[in-house]
Amino acid sequence: MSRVASAGDRRRWETLAPAVGVALLALYAVPIGWLLFAQSPGRVLASLSEPFVVSAARNTLLSATASTTLALGFGLPLAYWLARAEFRGQTLVTAVVAFPLVLPPVVSGMVLLSAFGSNGLGGVVGLSVDGTLAGVVLAQTFVASPFVVLSARSAFERVDRRLEEVAWTEGVSRWRTVLRVTLPLASRGILAGATLAFARAAGEFGATLMLAYYPRTLPVQIWATFQGRGLDAAVPVAVVLVAVASGALVVLNLFGGSSLVGRSE
């Protein structure tokens, strides 16, 4: 009887869970669908050729690529250290890495502006990032790099240490072992983190707005266009950003999705 009841409960749950979850799926899908189809495709395509849209898209792709590259270059060694080392205060270090994820974006911008702006360290060394593409990259790296570090750390932790030890016993240096053994085995998780970091950087608004209103990226241009010309004029710029985010999501699901948001293996 208990087995029959258990099977019946499972079937009811399998029916009820999707029915309840549809409401949240609708919350995700309806606004995006409305954005894409609220205006005619011809009008959207015509607006995409406007210089301010092209400039914002170029700045976004350039800065997001640069910030993701920096996140990988500095984040992978940090992630490997956190995955392999055991030391007092490791939890605190991990919390510091994750802190930008929970910090409100506008506050992130205020922190960066205070520390690296003309009234902070930037003024001291005579190299301010206010209103520069470097400032945009700095803001994006601050908010997006934790995705690389945390995802790569989890990926490195899943790599069997015995494989590294075998390479060491055969005389392979630790550096070459990481390059030839560890990184290839952890590549899916690293790619997932990098993809999320790129998408997060491309969509960053609050920190970028505080640190570098110019040169404008797509999120800042969307806000400026909405403020100056209204919702209809801002839609084409938003469509470009949705396309960038959708492309990142496709890459994430194809190559790295199981490491962060996909199925467990």
Burial 10-47 (b: 16+ CB within 10 A, else e): eeeeeeeeeeeeeeeeeeeeeeeeeeeeeeeeeebeeb
pLDDT at 112 over 90: yes
Share above pLDDT 70 across residues of the chain, in percent, rounded to a whole number = 91
Closest CA to 197 of 112, 260, 254: 260
pTM: 0.85
* Residue 40 structure tokens: 């005619």
Q: Per-residue pLDDT tens for 82-93?
A: 999 888 999 999
pLDDT at 263 over 60: no
**Between 246 and 98, the higher pLDDT residue:** 98
pLDDT at 264: 37
* Lowest mean pLDDT across 43-57, 83-97, 136-150: 43-57
Q: Report how far residue 239's alpha carbon sits from residue 46's, in angstroms, rounded to the nearest whole number.
A: 12
Alpha helices by DSSP H, the chain: 2-37, 41-48, 51-84, 90-102, 105-116, 121-125, 133-157, 161-169, 174-177, 183-185, 187-202, 206-211, 218-229, 231-251, 257-260
pLDDT at 258 over 50: no
pLDDT at 158: 93
* Lowest mean pLDDT across 28-32, 41-45, 151-155: 41-45
Q: Per-residue pLDDT tens for 169-218?
A: 777 777 888 888 899 999 999 999 999 999 999 999 999 999 888 999 99
